[in-house]
Amino acid sequence: MGPTVSNVEQPKYQVVESRGNIEIRDYAPMIVAEAEVSGDRRDAISKGFRIIADCIFGNNPTAQKVAMTAPVSQQGSEKIAMTAPVTQQGDGNTWRVRFIMPSSYTMETLPTPNNPAVELKEIGAKHYAVISFSGMAGEDSLQRRTKELNAFISAKNLTPLSAPTYAFYNPPWTLPFLRRNEMMVEIPASAG
């Protein structure tokens, strides 16, 4: 993990199972600031980052600044069927970009964003299969990690409950070999 990340709060989780660079994790509930943006993946994360950063850097009614956390996460927009199991489908052009809010805040104590494109959401406890990797997280790298994580999920006879979420922990100037990236897929809570 790059040195820039070590001083910021990260989401709380417990590792249930570990195999190489893949873990099954139980995540604690959290609050996120989210913006939905269109474009290719790289443009969308930059655009979403700027929209949300504007709010946490003081563009809110009280001009209150909120501490940075890591990671910044990105997920393709999902269409959820009204049947069981739940299925998701990314449309390839719309992305949800999220910042995890510091755990010291509640929905009542977080400043309300001035920008209506930023939404504060409570996310309940979740169970994820997660693959960690370094490097630039380009499309080829993400495709390789998707195959590897899907093979793990399949070998464990698990049902994916979400499209992949990409988590990026470092600022853009971090050297590739120092970067921490993750791909996460929600799985049933009984896994592990």
Alpha-carbon gap, residue 169 to 4, rounded angstroms: 9
For residue 72, the model assigns a pLDDT of 67
Query: Quick one: which of 125, 35, 20 has its CA closest to 73?
Result: 35
pLDDT tens figures, 99-133 = 888 888 899 998 899 999 999 999 999 999 999 99
- Mean pLDDT computed over 83-94: 38
Between residues 131 and 6, which one has the greater pLDDT?
131
Domains of the chain: 5-186 (3.20.80.10)
| Beta-carbon count within 10 A of 80 CB | 10
Alpha-carbon gap, residue 190 to 192, rounded angstroms: 7
Contact (Cβ atoms closer than 8 angstroms) between residue 166 and residue 183? yes
Task: Indicate the range of 36-40, 70-74, 153-157 predicted with least confidence.
Answer: 70-74
Q: Phi and psi dihedrals of 20, rounded to 5?
A: 60, -125
Per mean pLDDT, which of 7-21, 73-87, 140-154, 169-183 is the most reliable? 140-154
pLDDT tens figures, 59-84 = 788 888 887 777 767 665 433 222 21
Q: Phi and psi dihedrals of 177, rounded to 5?
A: -70, -15
In sequence order, the 6+-apart residues with CB closer than 8 A to the CB of 88 are 78, 79, 80, 161, 162, 163
pLDDT tens figures, 175-192 = 889 888 889 999 998 755
